[in-house]
Structure 1
Amino acid sequence: MSTERPPAGDSDRYGLAALTKPAALVRLAGIATVVFAIAAAFAGTAGWFSPGRLDPARMIDRFEAVNGQHPGFRRNHAKGVCLTGWFDSNGAGARLSTASVFAIGRLPVIGRFALAGGLPMMPDGPSAVRSLALEFRLPGGQQWRTGMNDIPVFPLKDPRAFYEQLGATAPDPKTGRPDPAAVQAFFAAHPESARALALIKAQPFSSGFANATYNSLNAFVFVDGAGTERPVRWSMVPLDAFAPEPADTPADSNYLFDALATRVKSAPVQWRLVLTVGRPGDPTNDATLPWPADREHVDAGTLTVMALQGEDTGACRDVNFDPLVLPTGIAASDDPLLSARSAAYSQSFTRREGEAKPPSAVRPDKGS
């Protein structure tokens, strides 16, 4: 994963030095969208919020208030495209987990590429956080669902911080932009978020979906055949060579999705599933903190994406990529964001399943 700085003119995409400037606040909104996607509901999360104040329904109401009504689409990561392919396990992960996904062999996979944000027709842009969600279909009816993003850490530590960040970055009705003083106050109160954003700032976005590295961000627990538990994070590392997106790339209707469709049609696109094994003391309940670079990395196999489909007809349309849908051998960690994500995704899924399905925002079969 590259750690070089962004090209000139884009170095403050996620910086904190000029958060009071309108352009910086717009960039901060790019991070806020992925924040929405990863930690968007808090009822039942360690009792931090009373049911009368906040629950998954009210949080999804906030999505709709911020982004408008878009029936049939996901309330966040609304613009996306379905994928189909398979995962070839090389067996290396089997010593860490009994999950059948790590046994040598091939498994079918469906999934979704998307952009963070609740606007299904939003233009693609260089500041958009990109995501990859997958459902591995295992023998015996088990599944493994995972949602990953192309940033190295998560900007917020827990649901309380997320809730406070929502208030701090809410647009002022008079200006249409967040109040700079509120933004500065939030980061002063949450130095862990400031540190996380500095790490995000230091890593440029790739030039497209196909050469991006996607990270789990949250920690999970792998259980081996002897019952030994280990903390693990994972990444999908592309076989396509990394290239940074030029800083002057203009926002355009579907250029990222169109480039992905062209790439997939020319040849299958592949990623290596790399498991990062934590050690005692490595944080499992704080996604703002990276683990040391010297942790063990296990190449567990290869994901191959063979084809893309529009969401109105594709296999991913009716899938809720709940991060707590886990097979035997993988368990949730103590990260408080996991239950929050699960609750929010369920609420969003319930609403859109009761709505008519509009044409997909991205149509790879028709050149978008």
Structure 2
Amino acid sequence: MPDHDFLDWPFFEPRHRDWAAEVETFAAQHAAPHGDDVDAATIALTRAMGEAGLLRMAVPADGRLDVRALCIARDILARHAGLADFAFAMAGLGTGSITLFGSDALKAEYLPRVRAGTSLAAFALSEPEAGSDVAALATTATRDGNAHWRLSGQKTWISNGGIAGHYIVFARSGEAPGARGLSAFVVPADSPGLTIDARIEVAAPHPLATLGFDDVRVPDSNRLGAPGDGFKVAMATLDVFRATVGAAALGFSRRALDLTLERATTRKIFGGPLFDQQMSQAAIADSATEVEASALLVYRAAWLKDQGTPRVSREASMAKLYATETAQRAADRAVQIHGGLGVTKGHKAEELTREVRALRVYEGASEIQRVIIARAERDRHRP
């Protein structure tokens, strides 16, 4: 049985426990191995989540994102299957900017389809030469009269690239130098000039692509926020969803701990269970302690955001940094205690090592999280 004792912590309300039970039931029924067609599996999982009503939390009809509920969902789904977590997360990340900054018309046009699971969403920020350094974005947005913009450039590492119905695209509109001169747009996937330049294969299969924008014409009504607000839109969206990456890492860590404990208590070695070896106990103790610490950091950040704290960048960065680094260590311990099985393709321990690695890179690499945390500490201690 999964450990849901954390739901008794004061961070949560009764509705969160009901939600966790709902997600757990869905995951047990639908988060099965997806086969070789990752696109089809992602589309099917998204549709199933929409039909089950799970995407109402990722794409709320009332516009109020419950970050604790998002984290609970990713925690549970990741423990079951990485692709299920991915499908849920992208519904939220690919619409979060619309939820937070979109006009009523944009919300009405795009959100219901994603909430129903009939359309997939994507967040197009990264570029070949601009990942963590958002101010280095080179994709341009040029005015075309008063009512339109023209987008040109390239985006890469875009999750749901090639299968999304729309993309949230960030481009340099030139109001000011650096990050202050960016704007955000909702770009339909069928826009003329928008191409899928390449599909990207990664260690843990997920739909990823490089997108090309060749003079893509977008109406000004598809802009999110004011011209020059693109960095603000991106950071506000990530401020909500960064802690949920930590929650996904937490779910992977929980599964790694379960595998480690199961193997240690069932595997016989030197005349007794592997668990009797003190180094095995140390591995279990370290993973268990780090899982609890990760959960506290993740759900503290989520709780603070839900309480109306304007910015939780420091707390969300701490949660993402610690939980994702923990997931890497917990997965490695699971592999180590399984021996040869742990590096056998198709074994869950081997799968976990591939699933968790990207978490330390996307939505701000661990190194960037350390920069954010350090600067926040400096600012907090200034006279």
Would the TM-score normalized by the shorter structure come out above 0.5? no
Structure with greater helix share of residues: 2
TM-score in terms of structure 1 length? 0.29
Structure with greater strand share of residues: 1
